[in-house]
Structure 1
Amino acid sequence: MAGDRTRGLRPAGDEDPVWRLWRALPEPWRGAVIGPGVEGWENITENIDYKLNLTGLPELIQAEMAWMAHWQATDGTRASVLALSQLANILRRAIRDHHPFPPSLRQMDWEAASALQTWFYTTRWGRFPSAGVRARLRVVFRFARTALIAACHEGPWWELDYWHPRCDPRIPLSSREPMAHYGCTLTLITHPWLREAVKWCLGTLLEAGTLRWTTVSQERLRCLHRFDRWLQIAFDNPLDVLGDPTSAAGQAAAFRRWLADPANRCDPGKPRRMATKVAPRLINDDLRAVGELFEFMAANHDEAGRVLGPLAAPWARVTAAHAASWFRQVSRIPHERLLNDEHYVDDRALGQITAALPLLGLPKDQQMPITRSDGQAVTADGMDDPQAMRMILLQILTGRRSSEIRLCDFDCLSAPTDRAVEAAEGEDIARFRYAQSKIDIAPDTILVDSEVVAIIEEQQRWVRARLPGVAPKHLFVQLLGNRSGVKPYPSGTYNWRLREFSSLVRITDGKERPVQLSHTHRFRHTKLTRLAELGLPIHVLQRYAGHATPSMSMHYIAHREEHAEQAFLATRKLKADGTTIVFSRDDHDRLHLFDRADRFLPHGWCLLPPLQTCDKGNSCLTCSVFVTDDTHTQTLARQLEETEALIHRTATAFLQRHGRPMPDDNVWLAQRHAERAALQRLLTALEAKPGRACQGAGCPTTPATGPVPITLQRPGTPQ
């Protein structure tokens, strides 16, 4: 691989580290011919009858190739015996013909190996190697050689130019982080002074637990790669970005404008489907990445010289003012809830999905008729991926993230507590432990019903049949290169499979919008929305979602107009005259009754719009927007009895203390008399019209009055 560093491979005066690795190999792997005597060779090699012949090669290369073959076997893939044997033949011919080649495979990158392979084929057979032959050898240099370099490297792991946790176990992964089967290439950053600083910064933050591997490899490094590309375009001398702190604000603003162009987010030569607009959050991520790098280097000036050597000199000019200028360009994004159902999968779309899902698990030699959303009937070939079918079913039924299903343990079911079994009232339930990897403090178990249990048990039987004699680590497994069963189903394969399925079935929702199954987070929104619509308390919803805060759970709830109207109609009440209280959609939008728990009273309901405030205190009984019905009769009767008893008790105490009755115009007594009268009017109205609600029945009635005669006096006339 181009740009691999060899610093730290062999300290001066010591033996080559590869001999330490070679001595640790089992005895059958240390011979010139590897194969005879190796236990389980038929399961390790890709060709049972083929042996790995290393005779005639330099001893150092023999040791390297033996270790690489053994690493492939322990990694769970089959040892690339054919590719390594071909490489051995190429090197033996190069030795015979005195054709130069590097003295070590660690110093032979893929370009050099490909050139040797081309020379071998053209000189021996007069043709170029086929694409399949090149790909076979490429696998050896992609993973096995990377693991060899990492195992021989005696410096910090972050000094290497290619990071891959699968090949380098020194790279820290959090306990809840998914097993990473992807790496990142640091040589994408072309400026050496920037690349070495990025390695040191990201490596330190990873070891400290400040960042996770997923964030570094999938996000942070890409942000800094874009920064490196911008430096080439924006400056004649890219080191000027480390110069005068007063210029940092303008430079950060220029970088922000450059990031706002969607074309600049794609790597040159790699065309992708570009969006019409770059989200502010993505721009902020790039600005924060640069600001944090500047902040790290400014805080570690003294140590930078020892760690980076001469490449630390340009960073000596960086101060905290540089970092502050870049951080100030991070825009504030209002956290406003999107009151729509954009991420909600309605019943129409779910019906189409579940009807066509068997196609995912159907063998390729079988066909199945499906009806697309436009009514077109087609016959499609099976996609032969029952694992993807079960994963999407579990996401729909449980609302878990795709990684939480894809990476869950094989033995993920356990018995529920006795209290849970009692509450289930005879329904079969179990506790499902999913792969919670996003929030450390969040729970990682939920209760599931018999339907989910059946899907999981079916998948367990399928894995046992595919991997006999193996104790798989994950419920959903990688099918190729996974002899030991430790590798999970690849995320890229899952997304690709769902994209193919979506394009074939062409699912649309009730608003004729296309539904892409590769956006599986929509099923999480859907599940949480439906639980909320069933009246699940927010703290229970938060526990089920596995969120750290209730506000995050509420972010997932879709505001569906039809559910809001149905829920409000369920609270329909009647006026005192027996007519229905009618609300238009505008009235409903203003009231938001179900969003205001303070409008539910112990003895009725308050119909005051939530944007208005109430200054009546405890005078609901005599309020015109107070509604009650016969379900509150006992409460109102008890309140009337207690009010009369309170009046009698207080009046008696007043008489005993003052020697005279409490006057009727006493403020306290007048209020209690008004409450008693209102309660009597309410009970009378409910008794007169049983089964109907009454609005404003407690208000005092004002007798109608006729016209009042008055005398108008003309100006200037005597009175």
Structure 2
Amino acid sequence: MAGEHRHLHPAGDQDPFWRLWLKLPEPWKGPVIGDGIEDWERITENGDRRIDLRGLPDLISAELAWMAHWQAQDGTRSAVLGTNQFANILRRALRENHPFPSSIRTLDWGTAGALQRWFYATRWSRLPPHGSIARLRVIFRFSRLALLARCSSEPWWTLDEWHPRCDPRIPLAEHEPQAHYGCSPSKISHEWLREAVKWWLGTQLEAGVLRWSTVSQERMRCLVRFDRWLSTFADPLDVLGDPAHAVQMAAAFRRWDADPANRLLRENEQRHAQRPVAARQLNDDLRAVAELFAFVAANPAEARQVLGAHPWSRATDAHAAGWFRQVSRIPHQRDLNDEHYVDDHALAQIPAALPLLGLGRDEHMLVTRGDGQQTTALGFDDPQAMRMILLQILTGRRASEIRTCLFDCLSPVPDRALDAVEGEEIARFHYAQSKIDIAPDNILVDLEVVAVIEEQRKWVRDHFPGITPRHLFLQRTGNRQGDKPYPSGTYSWILREFSKIVKITDSKGKAVGLSHTHRFRHTKLTRLAELGLPVHVLMRYAGHATPSMSMHYVAARQEHAEQAFLATAKLRADGTHVVFSRDDHDSLHLFNRADRFLPHGWCMLPPMQSCDKGNACLTCSVFVTDSSHEAALERQLTETSALIDRSTTAFRERHGRPMPEDNVWLLQRRAEHAALAKLLDTIGSQPGRAVQGAGCGTAPAGPVPISLDLDRHRRTRP
């Protein structure tokens, strides 16, 4: 039976599919597929069931056999149930003379779905159930796209569906992660626009001007929105009319595009319907259209050859200029803010809640939410997501750089493999740098990061035995070869659902959405900058090509600005110290808040907040002082010591026993005495520097299973 198809396609056959058929392994040529194929049960995940293609037209039978083999090679399962169901539908259609296309390549999902509905209606008088539709849909996703790509003799960009997983001809940048997502030019309904978009984006991608991630995730969406706007016109070709009206056309598109409801491309985007559209998003859409017009106008001969004379012969540089003119200027000067900064209060809650991500779906965990309420939640059964977000917090890398990093991502530091920094061994972490070609792709990490990576490696070995995985974080299903990274959509979704349960809040009570993981990059770089790293070192750690981009990530925190201001030595132009500058500048900063002047320092509490601690300034984190108050502090230390001695002596004389050390009054006085001693010791050892807080740590809010060093950015390194 396996030789049934081979005599049907002579050497001179013009159908390119038969070239693929000649390379297909003999056990896969059917018409019954399964016998003689190694590890068939593991490849199909449907036990020992076989694919039965008997009784089908020769070309369709051969195409389905090739698609089943491609699925196995791709690392997903061969769709035994879906293929057999489709074969049954076609056999019934043949018996009853119901028409259908002669090739899978011309039989799209719409036609296949109609055939399935006809099959269920004529045989069981009902519509197909959801499970049957899903099984059939599998055949018409990746494997059919792969078949179309292999049989196409035209450039890859002439197809209406693009997917690097299915079409190896699509160019990917050297540092770009293996792309497991595609895009659909077919969503552009106007054929004249769709063909121009495919030609333009395909050419730009092959020339290296654009990357696949930019083309598929940004430009195509921009132009799909432009296509939808054209559908509101009686004649969409008016957009290529008089160039003098191009500015008005672009302004009309900008107004339409500014409505959030007009920008939704999928039903699951309804949550964004009420969000205002940022100026940068509008500029991206306008710029995409303008660049398309400019490209066509700059290549008239090629445009006539590829697109024909109508209607793109009307496109001129004036059209592009009119659309470019509507791109608004966005000022880059930003106010003092910490919008993307995650403070210590929020970071302390995240590690305590992270184990919920790794628990099984039948396990429960008591979670303390950001508002202080406790709730019992079911686990998410996703330890990979738990480790990914933890690595983002610890290293400040982008989500894609963690999600797609290689399995062997650690290496020893040359000549320093056994050295230690502050007692911690270091290693070099190679992340998946995918954004900037000239930027570095590795950083030094400490033992905590290494431990997380090693734990993930062990998890991969346990769940994917017998394979050599490519990535550190893997897609859990349809990934027998271990070459598919953890999907970005899954990561965003699970963090969004996790945020709804744990409700992380910052110190101001503002919710912190964990699905916006880029804020952890802002936070890490801000803390490194506050640590005093030089700009070129910060840029190297961030993986940026310019210092200005690194500075964009540094949050201008009010708290740090005040700390740095008080600790800065002021100099004259001739290099001499300004004796009165500290008091003078502190007064300028606080002159309108007389209640912030204290006998032994200043209170740096933000103006909009009030203090409820009474006179407990010495143990307050927003209390600051310096050497100018040394005399007052020494006097207070002496008086506090004398007060403790008098009170403890009086207690002994009255009660006949010493005052207990856990006495409420004595505990507070001892804390004040220790704080004063530490303040004076710091002032003496670091003259000329301001001191914040009394060195008294705050009590932890609760147990933290996974430790984060929240104070490292405040340490002063030699």
Which range, TM-score by smaller chain?
0.7 to 0.9
Which is greater in Rg? 1
Identify the match of residue 372 of structure 2 among 369, 372, 375: 375
- In structure 2, the partner of 1:436 is 433
- Residues in 1 aligned to 2:283 and 2:289: alpha-carbon distance in whole angstroms: 10
Matched, 1:392 2:394: no
Describe the superposition over 1:271-309 as per-residue Cα deviations: whole angstroms up to 9, x where unpaired.
442244221111111111111111111111112222224
Identify the match of residue 427 of structure 1 among 415, 424, 428: 424
- Which shows bigger deviation, 495-504 or 174-183? 174-183
- Residues in 2 aligned to 1:364 and 1:316: alpha-carbon distance in whole angstroms: 60
Describe the superposition over 1:39-97 as per-residue Cα deviations: whole angstroms up to 9, x where unpaired.
22121112122011111111101110000000100110000011101111111121122
Cα pair 2:336 2:558 within 8 Å, conserved:
no
Cα pair 2:570 2:578 within 8 Å, conserved:
no
Q: 1:690 to 1:115 in 2, by over 3 A?
A: closer
Cα pair 2:49 2:80 within 8 Å, conserved:
yes
- Which shows bigger deviation, 472-481 or 54-63? 54-63
Cα pair 2:365 2:376 within 8 Å, conserved:
yes
Matched, 1:473 2:470: yes
- Residues in 1 aligned to 2:55 and 2:687: alpha-carbon distance in whole angstroms: 101
Cα pair 1:266 1:272 within 8 Å, conserved:
no
Q: 1:26 to 1:369 in 2, by over 3 A?
A: same
- In structure 2, the partner of 1:463 is 460
Q: 1:239 to 1:585 in 2, by over 3 A?
A: farther
For 1:228, the aligned partner's letter is: D
Matched, 1:494 2:491: yes
Q: Which runs of 5+ in 1 are unaligned?
A: 1-9, 591-627, 630-688, 695-719
- In structure 1, the partner of 2:252 is 254
Instruction: Please state whether the residue corresponding to 2:225 is helix, strand or coil.
Output: helix
Cα pair 1:260 1:283 within 8 Å, conserved:
yes
The percent identity for this pair of structures is 67
- In structure 1, the partner of 2:140 is 141
Instruction: Please state whether the residue corresponding to 2:125 is helix, strand or coil.
Output: coil
Give the CA deviation at 1:257.
Answer: 2.2
- In structure 1, the partner of 2:401 is 404
- Residues in 2 aligned to 1:589 and 1:467: alpha-carbon distance in whole angstroms: 65
Q: 1:52 to 1:533 in 2, by over 3 A?
A: same
Give the CA deviation at 1:195.
Answer: 1.0
Cα pair 1:372 1:506 within 8 Å, conserved:
yes
Describe the superposition over 1:419-472 as per-residue Cα deviations: whole angstroms up to 9, x where unpaired.
575473653111000000011110000000000000000100100110000101
- Residues in 2 aligned to 1:194 and 1:98: alpha-carbon distance in whole angstroms: 39
- In structure 1, the partner of 2:40 is 41
- Which shows bigger deviation, 127-136 or 272-281? 272-281
Q: 1:408 to 1:25 in 2, by over 3 A?
A: same
- In structure 2, the partner of 1:214 is 213
For 2:490, the aligned partner's letter is: T
- In structure 1, the partner of 2:298 is 299
Instruction: Please state whether the residue corresponding to 2:281 is helix, strand or coil.
Output: helix
For 1:45, the aligned partner's letter is: T
- In structure 1, the partner of 2:583 is 581
- In structure 2, the partner of 1:245 is 243
Give the CA deviation at 1:586.
Answer: 4.2
Give the alignment of 1:180-195 within 5 angstroms.
Answer: 180-195=179-194
- Residues in 2 aligned to 1:223 and 1:588: alpha-carbon distance in whole angstroms: 49
Cα pair 2:222 2:284 within 8 Å, conserved:
yes
Cα pair 2:177 2:404 within 8 Å, conserved:
yes
Q: 1:314 to 1:693 in 2, by over 3 A?
A: closer
Q: 1:121 to 1:263 in 2, by over 3 A?
A: closer
- In structure 2, the partner of 1:711 is none
Cα pair 1:573 1:693 within 8 Å, conserved:
no
Cα pair 1:463 1:475 within 8 Å, conserved:
yes
Cα pair 1:578 1:693 within 8 Å, conserved:
no
Q: 1:471 to 1:276 in 2, by over 3 A?
A: closer
Q: 1:141 to 1:327 in 2, by over 3 A?
A: same
Instruction: Please state whether the residue corresponding to 1:447 is helix, strand or coil.
Output: strand
Give the alignment of 1:677-716 within 5 angstroms.
Answer: none
Cα pair 2:417 2:427 within 8 Å, conserved:
no
Instruction: Please state whether the residue corresponding to 1:281 is helix, strand or coil.
Output: helix
- Residues in 1 aligned to 2:56 and 2:45: alpha-carbon distance in whole angstroms: 22
Describe the superposition over 1:547-587 as per-residue Cα deviations: whole angstroms up to 9, x where unpaired.
11111111111122222222333357999999973543743
Give the CA deviation at 1:27.
Answer: 1.1
- Residues in 2 aligned to 1:543 and 1:579: alpha-carbon distance in whole angstroms: 36
- In structure 2, the partner of 1:650 is none
Give the alignment of 1:53-132 within 5 angstroms.
Answer: 53-132=52-131
Q: 1:287 to 1:388 in 2, by over 3 A?
A: same
Give the CA deviation at 1:328.
Answer: 1.7
For 2:46, the aligned partner's letter is: N
- In structure 2, the partner of 1:616 is none
- Residues in 1 aligned to 2:410 and 2:71: alpha-carbon distance in whole angstroms: 32
Give the CA deviation at 1:691.
Answer: 10
Describe the superposition over 1:484-529 as per-residue Cα deviations: whole angstroms up to 9, x where unpaired.
0000000111111111111000110001100000000110011111
Describe the superposition over 1:1-41 as per-residue Cα deviations: whole angstroms up to 9, x where unpaired.
xxxxxxxxx9xx85211111111111111121110011221
For 2:139, the aligned partner's letter is: V
- Residues in 2 aligned to 1:230 and 1:577: alpha-carbon distance in whole angstroms: 66
Instruction: Please state whether the residue corresponding to 2:377 is helix, strand or coil.
Output: strand
Q: 1:517 to 1:582 in 2, by over 3 A?
A: same
Q: 1:42 to 1:319 in 2, by over 3 A?
A: same
Give the CA deviation at 1:261.
Answer: 2.2
- In structure 2, the partner of 1:561 is 558
Instruction: Please state whether the residue corresponding to 1:341 is helix, strand or coil.
Output: coil
Cα pair 1:346 1:510 within 8 Å, conserved:
yes
For 1:584, the aligned partner's letter is: D
For 1:546, the aligned partner's letter is: G
Q: Which runs of 5+ in 2 are unaligned?
A: 1-8, 572-576, 593-626, 629-683, 690-718
Instruction: Please state whether the residue corresponding to 1:503 is helix, strand or coil.
Output: helix
- Residues in 2 aligned to 1:442 and 1:472: alpha-carbon distance in whole angstroms: 26
- In structure 2, the partner of 1:331 is 328
For 2:445, the aligned partner's letter is: V
Instruction: Please state whether the residue corresponding to 2:428 is helix, strand or coil.
Output: strand
Matched, 1:340 2:333: no
Cα pair 2:240 2:314 within 8 Å, conserved:
yes
Q: 1:354 to 1:15 in 2, by over 3 A?
A: same
Provide the TM-score with structure 1 as the length reference: 0.78
Instruction: Please state whether the residue corresponding to 1:204 is helix, strand or coil.
Output: helix
Q: 1:585 to 1:362 in 2, by over 3 A?
A: farther
For 2:425, the aligned partner's letter is: D
